[in-house]
Amino acid sequence: MRTLSLVVLIGILLPVAAWAQAPATPVPGRVAVVDFQKTVTENADGKKAQEKFLAEFNRRQKEFEDKQKSMADMQTKLQNGDKALSEDAKANLAKQIDKTQTELQRMNDDAQKELGELQQQLFRPIAEKAQDAIKSYGTENGFSVIFDSSSQASSIVYRQEVADITTEIIRRMDSMAAKAPAAAPPKPAEPAKK
């Protein structure tokens, strides 16, 4: 009986011991998640791009708010100036209000278009670098699939933090940017010949 127990115990422990001694090679079928939006915006280049984008956004928003305030002042003047303003002055003020409303609409439309283009210009190269970093990390670590947890279409309902590689991808992108050669300084202009 004791021999049988020892044989069963060895039979159980042998696969565990073999598994424990196996080299740490990637296991096919591994899955990870990444917050792609974070990988684009929270690395060094992404933060610089965000600053540029927000500066332009804030500048345009201030212009829009100033124009809105001007229109609100004209509307108040038109409403409160019933007796003080002549009919011609009221008509001119009403035309100015209509013109300002049209300008505000154009400003809004232009800002949406131009800010969208700026966003693409600033973030597309960073997104491409993030995609490359994710692909190389996935290949190096044997992941079969890496899901984007930031996508609105994501149907991931549960994930363990160990499966999230976002921080590693951001670190990798920052280290790649640090290794990239800096742009050569411009050559000094040659002095003009006399």
Residue 37 lies in a domain: yes
Task: List pLDDT tens digits, range 36-53.
Answer: 999 999 999 999 999 999
Residue 90 lies in a domain: yes
Categorize the per-residue pLDDT at 188 as very low, low, confident or very high, splitting at 50, 70 and 90: very low
pLDDT at position 24 over 50: no
Residue 87 lies in a domain: yes
Categorize the per-residue pLDDT at 153 as very low, low, confident or very high, splitting at 50, 70 and 90: confident
Number of domains in the chain: 1
Residue 191 lies in a domain: no
- CA 37 to CA 41: how far, in whole Å? 6
Residue 43 lies in a domain: yes
Residue 169 lies in a domain: yes
Residue 5 lies in a domain: no
3-class SS letters over the chain: CHHHHHHHHHHHHHHHHHHHHCCCCCCCCEEEEECHHHHHHCCHHHHHHHHHHHHHHHHHHHHHHHHHHHHHHHHHHHHHCCCCCCHHHHHHHHHHHHHHHHHHHHHHHHHHHHHHHHHHHHHHHHHHHHHHHHHHHHHHCCEEEEEECCCCCCCCCCCCHHHECHHHHHHHHHHHHHHCCCCCCCCCCCCCCC
Q: What is the dihedral of CA 150, 155, 161, 162, to 10 degrees?
A: -110
Boundaries of domain holding 131: 27-177
pTM: 0.67
pLDDT at position 31 over 70: yes
Most confident of 49-58, 154-163, 182-191: 49-58
Task: List pLDDT tens digits, range 102-132.
Answer: 999 999 999 999 999 999 999 999 999 999 9
Categorize the per-residue pLDDT at 189 as very low, low, confident or very high, splitting at 50, 70 and 90: very low
* Rounded mean pLDDT, 164-189: 74
- As to burial, measured by CB atoms within 10 angstroms (0-12 exposed, 13-18 middle, 19+ buried), residue 133 is buried
